[in-house]
Structure 1
Amino acid sequence: MFKTIKAFILIFCFGAFLQSVNADGNLKFTDYNESKTSSVVFRSSLEMSLARRGLKSADFCDENDAVSRRVLKDYGAIFLADDKNLLLPPVCIFASEVSVTDFQKQMRIARARIGDAEIELQSEAMNALLAARREAITAGLNITPRDGAEAARRDYSDTLRLWNSRFFPALEHWRRLGKLTRSDAERLSSLSTQAQIEAVLELEERGVFFSKDFSKSILYSVAAPGASQHLSLLAFDANEYEHEKVRRILARHGWFRTVKNDSPHFTFLGVREKDLPARGLRKLESFGGEFWIPNMQ
């Protein structure tokens, strides 16, 4: 009897784990525990950060816009990074290549070669990453860039290219299945970038998803053009993201996962983990590890 019960428990737990992973290998968040740490609401902390930088929330992000609201919800942790030592974005979504280039020109940028890839990050972020990598190597581990140089710095055209790499295959997929007509696909392809993003999010509300495996939002697969954390040179995609010890080492050096369902993606916040709840972030835990996301109510 005891063996039967034990076997049932093991099967149930394993089944729950399988259900937590989608076809891309990314985690789904359903019944996992949230951090119970005392915290503040994301928007309050964001307002204070913007005020310190001399910015107004209305100029920073139009929260009447559905795309902007999603960017804050899904990628907003970066806006609460250490604003004393890092250059943070002046807007939640960059509108063009020119605006991204002007922003990146203001940064103190460091370059480093890791393996075959040369990556670029803001200097503080790079120093912390290299320190974390040294600690990992000492422990018999490693921290290396996923997909080469693209693991770190990106420009606006990179975000547009990655968006298109999901957008056009999804159009064809749903057209073949009859969820979209040829006329729908042509109309969506001809839209401006902003209008295209809005249209995709509306379709996804009806279950027509544009991620790589067509099972979830495109924003869990790639950022909207102009919205990627990589544009701020404060994001790094690591090959070793599944290793808990590597994640702990990165966290000690100010690097945290902040975009749920993007498991390899780490964001340099430059603060101690214990201080994150007071900055407006909350912790999500799953079988695949932890994510610090905006505490939005």
Structure 2
Amino acid sequence: MKLPLMKKKNLTRVIRKATFISIVILMIFVLVASNEITHNQLARTAQPLNGCLSTDSLPCRDTSKETISEPFLPNPELNEQQRFLSAIARKLPTIPQPGTYEYTLLRTYGAVFVNQDVGIKLPQKDIFANEQETKEFQATLIMGHVDGTNDCYLQKSAADALNKARIQQHIPLKSGYGSGDCTRTFNTNLIFWHKYANNQILAKVQQGRETKILGLVAPPGTSQHLWGLAIDLRISNQEQRKALNQNGWFQTVENDVPHWTYVGLSEENLPLFGFKKQAIRGINYWLTPL
């Protein structure tokens, strides 16, 4: 008895899919034999192929490379420093060694590396060497405009969160208008540095002999402003601070009063990520535990 044309086509599809899956499974077991892939890894690889035979569409989509981003929470049994480092280790390829210049910068400006917002992009290191390196990183960012400003831009998630806070409260930029309060170029960072410091002070910072200057201005190539995740604001009351905190913005650089960092966490989760709350002259800073 001849099969109807439609059923015949469906049967052909099933055969093609079965052949495809057989080849894939064979390849998986070859990899198991040659590379000692674990049973769990094998299960994760083969599982997305389940159900392919029951679908009528071709080709069957392999979802083995598709991941669902789940918020990371540090192990609460770890100490503060370990919790913080476990979070930033997911973002930074290499954690600087204690006592190095990079570690000093991470301690001061590294709060952003715990950010769990999938919409932001973090640099692969905490120092940009020059303008070209900075531009190359910034060219990869998705930027958003800060409402009510002429030329203030941040990474979009940070800008969106700030705009929500500014709907709740009137929150002006430090300068009142300028891009210098928002995402900066390497050269702008350099200009700010030379306004307050010099190469001799930079050498002391690099040697670990000077750190107070870091609460006033960031050394060349190290500012959170280069990453589009910081802004300088003019804050005068607790309601403004509350609105910013509710939207993931916190003061994380000790003694830098106008400076706000987009951490992207709720205030109740900051201690879980190792942050230490420190009140200085009536301002609560959330500092890294390094």
Compute the TM-score of the two structures, normalised by the length of structure 2.
0.66
What secondary structure sits across from 2:197 in the alignment? Answer: helix
The aligned residue for residue 131 of structure 2 is 97
CA deviation profile, 1:217-249 (whole Å, cap 9, x unmatched): 221210011110101111011112x31110111
Task: Say whether the 8 Å CA contact 2:84–2:275 is kept in structure 1.
Answer: no
User: Structure 2: how far apart are the matches of 1:255 and 1:130?
Assistant: 11
Which of 248, 255, 265 is the matching residue for 2:259? 265
Q: Take 2:77 and 2:246, find their aligned partners in 1: how far apart are those partners?
A: 20
- Asked if the contact 1:283–1:293 (Cα under 8 Å) also holds between the matched residues in 2, the reply is yes
Secondary structure at 2:168's aligned position in 1? helix
Instruction: Map 1:216-255; keep pairs closer than 5 Å.
Output: 217-240=212-235, 242-255=236-249
Structure 2 CA distance for aligned equivalents of residues 64 and 257 of structure 1: 24
The secondary structure found in structure 2 opposite 1:239 is coil
Once the two structures are TM-superposed, the CA of residue 98 in structure 1 deviates from its matched residue by 1.7
Equivalent runs, 1:199-210 vs 2, <5 Å: 199=204
Q: Name the CA shift for 1:200/1:57 in 2 (closer, same or farther; >3 Å).
A: closer
Q: What is residue 145 of structure 1 aligned with on the other side? A: 173
Residue pair 2:255, 2:280 contacting (<8 A) in 1 also: no
Match of 1:49 among 88, 91, 94: 88
Instruction: Work out whether residues 39 and 282 of structure 1, in 8 Å CA contact, stay in contact via their aligned partners in 2.
Output: no
Q: 1:246 to 1:254 in 2, by over 3 A?
A: same
Instruction: Give the Cα–Cα distance (whole angstroms) in 1 for the partners of residues 243 and 79 of structure 2.
Output: 26
Shift of 1:146: 1.2
CA shift digits 1:108-128 (9 cap, x unpaired): 10123535x420001111111
Between the aligned partners of 1:102 and 1:109, the Cα distance in structure 2 is 14
Distance 2:87 2:257 in 1: 29
In 1, distance between residues paired with 2:206 and 2:217?
13
Q: Determine if the alignment matches structure 1 residue 135 to structure 2 residue 168.
A: yes
Which sections of structure 2, spanning at least 5 residues, go unmatched?
1-75
Who is 1:3 aligned against? none
Structure 1 residue 149 displacement after superposition: 1.4
Give, in angstroms, the shift of residue 202 of structure 1.
5.4
Asked if the contact 1:80/1:269 (under 8 Å) is kept, the reply is: yes
Counterpart residue identity of residue 89, structure 2: L
Counterpart-to-counterpart distance in 1, 2:267 and 2:112: 14
State the identity %: 30
Q: Which moved more, 1:255-264 or 1:83-92?
A: 83-92
Structure 1 spans left out of the alignment, 5+ residues: 1-36, 137-141, 169-187, 190-195, 206-215
1:96-175 paired onto structure 2 within 5 Å: 96-115=130-149, 117-136=150-169, 142-147=170-175, 148-168=178-198
User: What are the equivalent positions in structure 2 for 1:188-207 lying under 5 Å apart?
Assistant: 197-199=202-204
TM-score (norm: length of structure 1): 0.65
Counterpart for residue 17 of structure 2: none
**Paired residue type of 2:152:** I
1:276 aligned partner, one-letter code: L
RMSD (Å) for aligned C-alpha atoms = 2.5
